[in-house]
Amino acid sequence: MKYTTLPNTTTKVSKLCLGSMTWGNQNTEAEGHEQLDYALDQGINFIDTAELYPVPATAEMSGRTSKIIGTWLQKTGNRDKVVIASKIAGGGDYTAHIRTTGFSPDAIKEAIDLELKRLQTDYIDLYQLHWPERDTNRFGVRNYKYDSNWEDNFNEILHSLDTQIKAGKIRDIGISNENSWGTMRYLEESKNHNLPRISTIQNAYSLLTRTFETDMAEVSLRENVGLLAYSPMAFGVLSGKYIKGKASENARLKLFPRFARYSGEQANEAAKQYLKIAEDNGLSLAQMSLAFVTQQPFITSTIIGATNLEQLKENIESIHVTLSDAVLEQINEVHNTIPNPAP
């Protein structure tokens, strides 16, 4: 395994982070524990969850994923061996079953207290805002629409998180599904008011979604805010299983076809071309896709997820793959022809 530190901290994390979004829905508690055991044995010490998980989000299932991590921590006593990241859900119709008070001070306190109980721990290493409260581009939305009714609350949010840090409940903070303006506003408030500084941003990044490389890559590198890349496999499209017709009935896009973010005609065509590059160079598409993400200079950790142990093993092996300049050139040729086919 390869390691780094969360930016602006001394916390050591693996360059691969174990995602858990399917646990409690597509995966059982036993399967979640099995993945945790295997990942830890392979040197992964970084685990990502959220109060929203598993996805798709429902009132019945909300919090199940973190409870599975909690029972594993209680059973194994491995709390001091892992770095746990979690998130508070932002507003929206699909999260009203959790709360409707956004990132108010009481909401942040409530979310953290409930998550600590689910995880069966007394602190969370990295606490993230799952997406912005304000109406802005997120989850692949491209066309910005100005919301004149939103009131700036960056300072209040950071004060609330600072209170929780001083209480010992969380250690460091991050953001997710955020853009460059929001990121810089958090940094501005931290600098000007001596408030906690964001360490990471968790956004989508893959061969099919490289929009982070525009404005956000510069922010990340110049301001030392590391990317935790989610969906590096584009919901499994970049495993090649859908292209080859080998997807199981338990595959995400078969169970939940509404998650079509990475399944458009151009995305499928780009994936086919990336598959050919991988096979021509003796690589699996999955490992090439993950290696491409992990070796980017703005990446702190690549979040990998799997619904079975075989997938997880292949994904973890990608840490040993370094793409040559020749392969990167071929990848960029496809990207130049079909740039960012998924939002």
Contact criterion met (CB below 8 Å) for 50 and 65? yes
300 belongs to a structural domain: yes
pLDDT the model gives residue 248: 60
Please give the tally of structural domains in the chain.
1
223 belongs to a structural domain: yes
Q: Which of 24, 14, 19 is nearest to 35 (CA)?
A: 19
279 belongs to a structural domain: yes
343 belongs to a structural domain: no
Separation CA 30–CA 110 (nearest Å):
28
pLDDT the model gives residue 145: 83
pLDDT the model gives residue 262: 83
pLDDT the model gives residue 242: 77
Q: Which residues on neighbouring strands pair with residue 4, listed in sequence order?
A: 13
Helix-then-strand count for the chain, H and E: 11, 10
pLDDT the model gives residue 253: 57
256 belongs to a structural domain: yes
Residues marked active site are found at 53
Which CATH number goes with the domain that contains 116?
Answer: 3.20.20.100
The CB-based long-range contact list for 57-61 (8 Å cut-off, 24+ gap) reads 57/89, 57/94, 57/95, 57/97, 58/97, 59/97, 61/24, 61/25
342 belongs to a structural domain: no
Which ranges constitute the DSSP H helices of the chain?
A: 29-41, 64-76, 105-119, 154-166, 180-193, 215-223, 252-255, 265-280, 285-294, 309-317, 325-337
pLDDT the model gives residue 158: 98
Q: Which residues of the chain have pLDDT under 50?
A: none
Range of the domain at 234: 3-337
Contact criterion met (CB below 8 Å) for 97 and 139? no
Q: Which of 298, 289, 228 is nearest to 14 (CA)?
A: 228
pLDDT the model gives residue 272: 96
